[in-house]
């Protein structure tokens, strides 16, 4: 009888070990099965990515347009400061004029004698610069005009891109304003 009990106990142990083995095999199989993505999960992830991309691109384009306007307006401001300081340094009139009568084609800084001191190459045709056809600084740093001069830099195809306005007072002081509320007038924010 003891022999039978031993055999029965051994069989129970084997059955328990087989169950454990089966449970471990199930876990391993489950881990192997869940190692990748299903087709439906990938399609859902792709759809969410496309929606987020579609929402982000217009904002990014607007940001790029505003950045181009900012870069060009600062280039123009730097050129104006350069021309003013050259007029004072040379004790002579210095003017900034657009190339080919269009500011977006570039501009050049010239002395009264006609010497070109600085030249800016053309920018993208998408940028529009409106205002005075020429700005001349006298030998005392003041502008030649009796009224303030206003130059507006904007993005031609995007009405929502931020416009920048450069104002040159009769004393020659330069200021660059931003049209934050995008109503076309830089003076009111």
Could you give the CA distance from residue 141 to residue 172 in angstroms, rounded to a whole number?
6
Confidence of residue 180 (pLDDT cuts 50, 70, 90): confident
- In a domain, residue 158? The reply is yes
How far CA 184 is from CA of 47, 55, 57, 148, 177, in Å, comes to 38, 26, 24, 18, 12
pLDDT in tens, 17-32: 566 656 666 666 666 6
Say what percent of the chain tops pLDDT 70.
Answer: 76
96 found inside a domain: yes
Rg (CA), the chain: 37
| Total count of domains within the chain | 1
Instruction: Indicate whether 20 belongs to any domain.
Output: no
Nearest CA-CA partner of 177 in 168, 149, 186: 186
Which H helix or E strand runs over 51?
A: helix 39-90
Identify the CA nearest to 92 among candidates 134, 138, 135. Answer: 138
Mean pLDDT, to the nearest integer, of 66-88?
A: 92
Please provide the size of the chain in residues: 189
Comparing CA positions, the residue from 3, 131, 155, 7 lying closest to residue 68 is: 155
**Contact indicator for 163, 156 with CB cutoff of 8 Å:** no
**Are 168 and 185 within 8 A, CB to CB?**
no
Q: Tell me whether residue 10 is in a domain.
A: no
CATH number, position 55: 3.55.40.10
Lowest mean pLDDT among 12-16, 73-77, 111-115, 120-124: 12-16
Range of the domain at 183: 40-188
What integer is the mean pLDDT of 152-157?
83
Residue 56 lies in a domain: yes
Q: Is residue 8 part of a domain?
A: no
In a domain, 4, yes or no: no
Nearest to 151, CA basis, from 140, 166, 137: 166
Per-residue pLDDT, averaged over 157-172, amounts to 82
In a domain, 72, yes or no: yes
Q: Which CA distances in Å does 153 have to 58, 78, 127, 181, 183?
A: 21, 14, 7, 15, 14
Q: How far apart are CA 28 and CA 35, in angstroms?
A: 11
CB 77, CB 174: distance < 8 Å:
yes
């Amino acid at each position: 009888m003891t022999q039978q009990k031993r055999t029965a106990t051994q069989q129970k142990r084997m059955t328990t070990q087989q169950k454990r083995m089966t449970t471990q095999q199930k876990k391993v199989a489950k881990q192997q099965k869940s190692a990748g993505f299903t087709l439906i999960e990938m399609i859902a992830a792709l759809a969410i990515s496309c929606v987020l991309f579609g929402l982000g691109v217009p904002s990014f384009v607007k940001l790029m347009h505003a950045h181009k306007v900012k870069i060009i307006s600062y280039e123009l401001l730097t050129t104006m400061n350069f021309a003013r300081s050259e007029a004072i340094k040379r004790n002579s009139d210095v003017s900034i004029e657009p190339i080919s009568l269009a500011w977006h084609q570039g501009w050049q800084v010239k002395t009264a004698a006609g010497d070109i001191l600085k030249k800016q190459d053309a920018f993208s045709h998408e940028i529009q610069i409106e205002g005075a056809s020429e700005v001349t600084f006298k030998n005392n740093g003041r502008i030649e005009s009796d009224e303030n001069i206003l130059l507006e830099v904007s993005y031609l195809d995007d009405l929502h891109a931020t416009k920048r306005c450069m104002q040159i007072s009769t004393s020659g002081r330069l200021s660059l304003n931003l049209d934050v509320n995008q109503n076309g007038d830089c003076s009111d924010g």
